[in-house]
Amino acid sequence: MTRELKQEVVEANKRLVSSGLVALTWGNVSAIDRQTGLIAIKPSGVPYEDLTSENLVVLDLAGNVVEGELRPSSDTKTHLEIYRKFEGVGAVVHTHSPSATAFSQAGKGLPCLGTTHADHFYGTVPVARALTAEEVQEDYEHATGVSIVERFEELSLNPIEMPAVLLHHHAPFTWGKTAAKAVDNSVALEMCCRMALDSYRLDPSLEAIPQHILDQHYQRKHGKNAYYGQGGV
């Protein structure tokens, strides 16, 4: 686990605050070094302003702490399950951002209503099912991760094309290749949820964007012939 990757995790966690995604300590970011299989994650309950690369917790994929004196985030087992099953993921973010959490609490997926959404998420952002009483009692955070993976398998979703999920009764998770990109996806998800809520107020019968427009906007930014931005610059 490099110091550079740890610092990326610190900066990404602090950006949750500056981006307006979290209040109090309602969120966390982790990142994985795929070569070593080690994960750095925010320690539980530590204020973002106090976070440093020295007080991050480093774990292996089995959840064993290999570095750090503090308890890792209470959501650690969810992060670990995502890393274990979604191999292309390099970082995971959990927040309770207001609009995305509203969709989560209502158990409503986020349809793609326009091109802003299509630039980031290839279709409807799914809802993972509510957990059973037995799952909550046995291992709540691990079961949360299992429910996410289960939902993606049910819908045959590619987690790289759909880097977000809404947990019923809970809140969102996002991910990406880097910690910075995972936070970008949390910002995008929150903004898309906010715009969707406003759009539904204007027209409760609003339907999803036509597939050909969704395809165009997603592929021009993420497809093999993408032409959005400056390439390798």
Task: Just list the catalytic residues.
Answer: 119, 228
Please check whether residue 12 is in contact with residue 91, taking contact to mean a CB–CB distance below 8 angstroms: yes
The candidate with the shortest Cα–Cα distance to 16, out of 195, 192, 174, is 174
Identify the sign of the CA torsion 198, 200, 201, 203: positive
Strands, E assignment, the chain: 27-33, 38-41, 57-60, 65-67, 91-95, 127-128, 164-167, 172-176
Which residue, among 27, 18, 65, has the nearest Cα to 46 in the 3D structure? 27
Contact 104, 170 (CB under 8 A): yes
Among residues 191, 143, 189, 200, the alpha carbon closest in space to that of 169 is found at 143
Nearest to 166 by CA among 182, 190, 183: 190
Structure tokens at 222: 């993420």
Name the nearest CA neighbour of 73 among 90, 85, 55. Answer: 55
SS3 112: coil
